[in-house]
């Protein structure tokens, strides 16, 4: 007996180790598609599927990110179960919202550094602020990334910000930050990572580094 489309889809996802959460979402998408058109998914066209996606986005007002999960489920089913070589259904580009950054005043930055719990916290925050780095970049710095030669005075950031890891780049190393880093070096003597975590073989986690900022910001003046 030929397996049902649902069983074929579940078998495919199981064999390819999809998570139970993903499988549940993808099966739900196919149920909703069939219910919307009152037809079996194998009887639908590209245009029918596109209409369903627009229904989710425009009529049901589902957020773009959630609609993209539905799109992934549809693409998985039609490519791997129905063996469609080409699909034309898609979502419109994700709407971009740009928030203005919260810029701290000079006095606020000074208070932030003073409120840091210890030398390590303070130097990490100063490195992020002075060199214009994200916390995800700061925690991955290694001592060799600090180029302190007077003719260079740069910080090398490997796989920096940007999609798919981004590109290597350099940030300016100020004399003040270099002096702070030297003081920090003498105190902590980091080896593999400039800001190691509890396990010296691993760098400090992004979430923990960000917590240094949050705690210092909340500390009473």
DSSP 147: E
Task: Could you list the beta-strand ranges (E) of 58-166.
Answer: 146-147, 154-157
The predicted pLDDT at position 100 comes to 55
Q: Quick one: pLDDT band at residue 175, thresholds 50, 70, 90?
A: very high
Q: Which residue has the higher pLDDT, 102 or 61?
A: 61
Mean of the per-residue pLDDT values of the chain = 89
The tally of CA atoms less than 13 A away on the side-chain side of residue 143 is 11
Average the pLDDT over 36-53 and give the result. Answer: 95
Q: Quick one: pLDDT band at residue 30, thresholds 50, 70, 90?
A: very high
pLDDT tens for each residue of 197-207: 988 789 999 89
- On the question of pLDDT at 152 being above 70, the answer is yes
The predicted pLDDT at position 164 comes to 44
Average the pLDDT over 50-68 and give the result. Answer: 93
The token pair at 161 is 């910000």
The token pair at 180 is 């702070």
Average the pLDDT over 68-91 and give the result. Answer: 91
Helices (H) and strands (E) in the chain, counts: 9, 3
The predicted pLDDT at position 51 comes to 95
DSSP 93: P
Domains and CATH numbers, the chain: 5-80 (1.10.150.130), 106-218 (1.10.443.10)
The predicted pLDDT at position 160 comes to 57
Give the span between the Cα atoms of 171 and 162, in whole angstroms.
Answer: 15
Give the span between the Cα atoms of 62 and 23, in whole angstroms.
Answer: 20
198: which residues sit within 8 A by CB, 6+ positions away?
Answer: none
């Amino acid at each position: 007996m030929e397996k049902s489309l649902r069983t074929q889809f579940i078998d495919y996802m199981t064999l390819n180790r999809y998570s139970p959460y993903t499988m549940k979402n993808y099966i739900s998408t196919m149920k909703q598609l069939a219910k919307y058109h009152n037809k079996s998914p194998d009887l639908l066209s590209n245009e029918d599927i596109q209409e369903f996606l627009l229904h989710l986005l425009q009529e049901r007002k589902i957020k773009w990110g959630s609609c993209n999960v539905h799109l992934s489920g549809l693409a998985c089913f039609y490519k791997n179960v129905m063996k469609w070589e080409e699909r034309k259904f898609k979502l419109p580009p994700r709407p971009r919202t740009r928030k203005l950054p919260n810029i701290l005043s000079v006095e606020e930055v000074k208070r932030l550094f003073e409120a840091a719990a210890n030398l390590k916290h303070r130097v990490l925050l100063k490195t992020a602020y002075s060199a214009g780095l994200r916390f995800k970049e700061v925690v991955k710095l290694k001592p060799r990334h600090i180029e302190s030669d007077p003719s260079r005075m740069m910080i090398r950031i490997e796989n920096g910000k940007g999609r798919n890891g981004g590109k290597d780049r350099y940030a300016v190393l100020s004399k003040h930050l270099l002096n702070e880093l030297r003081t920090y070096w003498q105190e902590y003597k980091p080896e593999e990572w400039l800001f190691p975590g509890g396990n010296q073989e691993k760098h400090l986690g992004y979430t923990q580094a960000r917590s240094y900022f949050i705690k210092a910001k909340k500390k009473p003046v």
